[in-house]
Amino acid sequence: MKRKKLFFLGAAIAALAAISVILIKTGGTEVETVTLAKGEINRRVTDTGYVQPVKSYDLYAVQSGRVTKVPVQNGARVKKGQIIAVLENKDLDLQISDMQSQLSQANSTTGGAKAAMGRTELDLTEARDDLARITELFRKEAVSRVEYDKAGLRVQSLLETLNEQKSAYDSALSREAGLEKSLGELQAKAGQLSVKSPVDGIILNLPAQEELYVSPGSLLATVAGQEHLEIKADILSDDLAEVKIGQDVDVTAPVLGQQTVRGKVTRIYPRAEEKQSTLGVIQRRVPVIISLEDPAVLKPGYEVTVAINTLSRRDILVVPRQSVLVKNDGSKEIMVVSGDRVEWRRIKTGLSDSEKMEVTEGVKAGEQIILDGSLELKDNARVKPLKKKVSAT
């Protein structure tokens, strides 16, 4: 039994000796290092957004009726003035037909009144000529007073008739004008049964369907102007502290491939809204509007990723985040390699992003540090640096 214990103890001592020899030959623990250099840090807020038109137009039914034709499809491009839907209103058709009939009769009445006036004016001219001739003869006592009075009464009667005819003609003209106005209004209403696009754009929404009965105020279609597009992104309220109007935004999407579209934050909503995440978590998010310099192939409704550049600093000393050890008291340390030895050094940091930290005190450019700050190495431990990298990116 004692021999076995001595055997195992000897084997353990031999193994430790072998490890010591290996460490001595290899020069210590192998570590990956980076050489400190100046670089830049860009802090970003990244989230999902959706492309939308700067301005869209909701087209509503002005008249009640049955949808008889929808010559476009949802998502289709349309031109200004292009018909999107056609409605039928039989009551309106009957009103127009009746009004046209009344107007036709009024035209006949007006024409008859005008013709009667013309005939009366001719008779009046003739009667005045007769009166002038008879008056001259009456002065010469060539005709009797009875004939003279008769000629005068005829002129007076024709004048009264002409005045009555003029009144009737004016009334007929007024009625005709009123009927024409009413017919024009009815025809304008009939024109509203053909719903047209107000702009060149894209059909975003198309509730209108053939054979559907609609009433005034029913939404038939929504057309988005394609000249100007923007992005609406709902940003977590916790991430909004550094987001400001005027900040640059990088926009990416699968449809863009490797291309990045540039934009700017143009509007931040004054209040947060409750949104439910895909995991069912209720979040407080604030809508942010981003203008686009050039939308490229983006279209309304496309999902995109927005990266808002909230803070940027250049020509600063940076270290990888993974190289920094944060202690329980909040202080930060990194392992500096000098020759083949490790020196734990306390540092002060400034700005940071998801990958890098700015170092303001404790190290300088050109020094080597161990990339993995979680390695359990003691101060002055021997190490063997592997391939070196540069910290600045």
Q: What is the CATH number of the domain that holds 212?
A: 2.40.50.100
User: Which structural domain, as residue segments, surrounds residue 269?
Assistant: 45-53+227-312
Q: Is 349's pLDDT higher than 70?
A: yes
Residues 379 and 322 in one domain: yes
Residues 255 and 112 in one domain: no
Q: Is 308's pLDDT higher than 90?
A: yes
Residues 308 and 318 in one domain: no
3-state DSSP call for residue 232? strand
Neighbours of 215 (CB within 10 A): 9
Among 167, 190, 213, which residue terminates a domain?
Answer: 190
Question: 19-27 — which CB contacts under 8 Å span 24+ positions?
Answer: 23/382, 26/384, 27/340, 27/382, 27/383, 27/384
Comparing 376 with 266, the larger pLDDT belongs to 266
The answer to whether the beta carbons of residues 324 and 281 sit under 8 Å apart is no
Among 312, 341, 356, which residue terminates a domain?
Answer: 312
Q: Is 288's pLDDT higher than 50?
A: yes
Question: What's the number of domains the chain is made of?
Answer: 4
Residue 9 falls within a domain, yes or no?
Answer: no
Residue 198 falls within a domain, yes or no?
Answer: yes
Q: What integer pLDDT is reported at residue 224 of this predicted model?
A: 86
Among 145, 173, 190, which residue terminates a domain?
Answer: 190
Residue 3 falls within a domain, yes or no?
Answer: no
Residues 128 and 201 in one domain: no
Q: Is 189's pLDDT higher than 90?
A: no
3-state DSSP call for residue 184? helix
- 169 alpha carbon, distance to own chain's centre: 58
Q: Is 23's pLDDT higher than 50?
A: no
- 52 alpha carbon, distance to own chain's centre: 3
- Which among 117, 101, 107, 100 has a CA at the least distance from the CA of 168? 117
Beta bridge partner(s), residue 332: 326, 347
Residue 6 falls within a domain, yes or no?
Answer: no
Q: What integer pLDDT is reported at residue 388 of this predicted model?
A: 64
Q: What integer pLDDT is reported at residue 20 of this predicted model?
A: 46
Residue 173 falls within a domain, yes or no?
Answer: yes
Record the pTM. Answer: 0.56
Across the range 98-120, mean pLDDT stands at 92
Q: What is the CATH number of the domain that holds 363?
A: 2.40.420.20
Q: What integer pLDDT is reported at residue 182 of this predicted model?
A: 92
Residue 156 falls within a domain, yes or no?
Answer: yes
Quick one: CA dihedral 225, 226, 228, 234, positive or negative? positive
Residues 95 and 181 in one domain: yes
Residues 182 and 96 in one domain: yes
Please name the helix (run of DSSP H) or strand (run of DSSP E) that holds residue 187, with its range, or none: helix 145-191
Question: b/e map of 2-39 (b: 16 or more CB within 10 Å)?
Answer: eeeeeeeeeeeeeeeeeeeeeeeeeebeebebbebbeb
Model confidence band, residue 391 (pLDDT cutoffs 50, 70, 90): low
Residue 115 falls within a domain, yes or no?
Answer: yes
Across the range 60-78, mean pLDDT stands at 92
Residue 347 falls within a domain, yes or no?
Answer: yes
The span from the CA of 7 to the CA of 86, in Å, is 101
